[in-house]
Amino acid sequence: MDLVSFSPEILTFLFLIAIVAGFLDTLVGGGGLLAVPALMLSGMPPIYVLGTNKLQGSMGTGAATLLLLRRKKLHWKNIKPLMLASFIGAAIGSIIIQFMDAEILSFVIPCVLGFIAIYFIFAPEPKKKQRLSNNSYQNVVVPAIAGYDGMFGPGTGSFFVLAGVAIKKLDIIKSTVMAKPLNFSSNIASLIVFLSFGHVVWVVGLLMMLGQAIGAFLGTHYLFKVNPKAIRILIVIMSLAMLIRYSFTIG
């Protein structure tokens, strides 16, 4: 792909977006809801948008996962099987999208945004009893969300958070923490597939990776200092704001 079209202004814009996306993704998930529209505005073909988003997003989720492990907020033994399930689901989804029209991304994202906003507005606080067994969560729910990440991506972090709250009955902070390694695993699997097809713009992806690392560092610092209700509100505001933006774009 011709990289001459990326002006310093566009690259600076994408770098700043990556910082904000990395920060928000660490707190509430859904950083791709900022990164993907920004990449689309740069003029990239949709399939390159998806691949480049995997490259830059893997840094944010990877940095957050590493920091959480170092701070002993995650336990490697507990998350390994879930990460494997996420990896497999994302790899399958990424292979499928290589043979589909990635233009449908423009129609998928508004549906995702609306669903996430509605859930977090009306859903009650989680109760103690888990709705599905750990095996069902690991073998069905996680691969399904990761498969969506492999095919499209935006909102995946929020879906993992939502699943933790709605299905595993975790509080929103614990669910957000668990979402990081699952999203990192799905990002890596997707990135491997997109790289094998040559659908990554390196200069943009590497620049945004740096921004993601900065945002993730800031996000993990504030994650355990934020009121869970504030995170819930932030998810709703972010989803609705992006939904409005997409409505005007499509319209």
pLDDT tens digits, 17-56 = 999 888 887 877 777 778 887 888 888 888 999 999 999 9
Region for residue 153 given its phi and psi (left: phi exceeds 0; alpha: psi -120 to 50; beta: otherwise): left
Is the confidence at residue 149, as pLDDT, over 90? yes
Rounded Cα–Cα distance for residues 31 and 239 (Å): 11
| Model pLDDT, residue 104 | 76
The answer to whether 24 touches 216, Cβ cutoff 8 Å, is no
| Model pLDDT, residue 64 | 86
Rounded Cα–Cα distance for residues 148 and 190 (Å): 10
Is the confidence at residue 251, as pLDDT, over 60? no
Over residues 4-9, mean pLDDT? 79
Tens digits of residue pLDDT in 86-144 = 999 999 999 999 998 767 766 776 777 787 778 777 766 655 555 667 888 999 999 99
Over residues 5-20, mean pLDDT? 90
Over residues 178-183, mean pLDDT? 93
**Mean per-residue pLDDT of the chain:** 84
Rounded Cα–Cα distance for residues 210 and 215 (Å): 9
Over residues 186-193, mean pLDDT? 97
Rounded Cα–Cα distance for residues 120 and 30 (Å): 14
End-to-end alpha carbon distance in the chain:
29
Residue 11: exposure state from Cβ atoms within 10 A (0-12, 13-18, ≥19)? middle
| Model pLDDT, residue 250 | 56
Q: What is the maximum alpha-carbon separation in the chain? A: 55
**pLDDT category, 170, cuts 50, 70, 90?**
confident
| Model pLDDT, residue 246 | 63
